[in-house]
Amino acid sequence: MTQHFISIKKLAQEPYSTILGYPKSTKRQLNSRIKELEKLKIKSVSFTGPTTIGKLEILGKGYVGIVVLAKLGNKQVALKIRRLDSQRNEMKTEAKLLKMVNSVNVGPKLFDYSKNFVVMEFLDGEKIGNWIESLGGRGSSKKLKSTIKSVLEDCFKLDQIGFDHGELSSISKHVIVGDKKSTIIDFESSSTKRRVSNVTSITQAIFIGSGIGKQVQKIYKIPSKEKIINALRTYKQDQSQDSFDNLLKILKL
């Protein structure tokens, strides 16, 4: 990933202004956002990553925000910029949710936030769908199993604190696998007010869903759908350590 950092002062100019005030903004809004970044001590931004907007590369794009690589002092961080057409009018709520998951060592670390920005840990890695694909069906089943187990353990931690991610059924976009760890990301649709289904959603996405499930099946023999569904049913009724351990056992993790 090539990295060329530009000063935040240049973000008011085209083509960078499209990202800072996506999809459309006024000069006043751009200048206000640059002042906000200065208060957050963000010095520069690099347009690099797997997603593109116009001719610029970024780390990611969601309904609420655009994520770019930035520098906080000398530290590389992920900067989430609130979209001007987002239904959310601030980023404080999302930052609080991230702080909550950080309390059980889940998610990218939150460093700072303001009305329009969230500054968090930059995770250098691949989205889980691409990572499993890169194993190519010949990959080490030990490596794959330990990654899936780690993600499920994080989901269990979230279930235990009554925190529902909300989008884990489309796992390929919401887990980053790096050299040292795998991390659940993107908590913009999360809630503490609905029934939690983190373990259930991610198990179904990995083992029962067609896309990733087929890739996983090529690398290690997974149990029958019936066995998995029964174990999930038991877990749903009693989200205890015992029923979670039983699920891991059924999944051969």
On whether both 65 and 166 belong to a single domain, the answer is: no
Q: Which pLDDT score is estimated for 30?
A: 98
On whether both 48 and 149 belong to a single domain, the answer is: no
* Domain count across the chain: 2
- pLDDT-based confidence at residue 209 (cuts at 50, 70, 90): confident
Output the 3-class SS for the chain: CCCCEEEHHHHHCCCCHHHHCCCCCCHHHHHHHHHHHHHCCEEEEECCCCEEECCEEECEECCCEEEEEEEECCEEEEEEEECCCCCCCCCHHHHHHHHHHHCCCCCCCEEEECCCEEEEECCCCEEHHHHHHHHCCCCCHHHHHHHHHHHHHHHHHHHHCCCECCCHHHHHHCEEECCCCEEECCCCCCECCCCCCHHHHHHHHHHHCHHHHHHHHHHCCCCCHHHHHHHHHHHHHCCCHHHHHHHHHHCCC
Q: Which pLDDT score is estimated for 215?
A: 86
Average pLDDT in the chain: 94
Q: Which pLDDT score is estimated for 123?
A: 95
User: Which domain does 62 fall in, by range?
Assistant: 5-121
On whether both 64 and 169 belong to a single domain, the answer is: no
On whether both 141 and 216 belong to a single domain, the answer is: yes
On whether both 173 and 67 belong to a single domain, the answer is: no
Give the domain CATH number at 32: 3.30.200.20
The stretch 206-225 carries a mean pLDDT of: 87
Q: Given a cut of 70, is residue 74 above it in pLDDT?
A: yes
Q: What are 87-105's pLDDT values in tens digits?
A: 999 999 999 999 999 999 9
Supply the pTM of this predicted model. Answer: 0.92
On whether both 29 and 86 belong to a single domain, the answer is: yes
On whether both 145 and 34 belong to a single domain, the answer is: no
On whether both 88 and 138 belong to a single domain, the answer is: no
On whether both 96 and 164 belong to a single domain, the answer is: no
Q: Given a cut of 70, is residue 53 above it in pLDDT?
A: yes
The stretch 111-130 carries a mean pLDDT of: 96
On whether both 150 and 91 belong to a single domain, the answer is: no
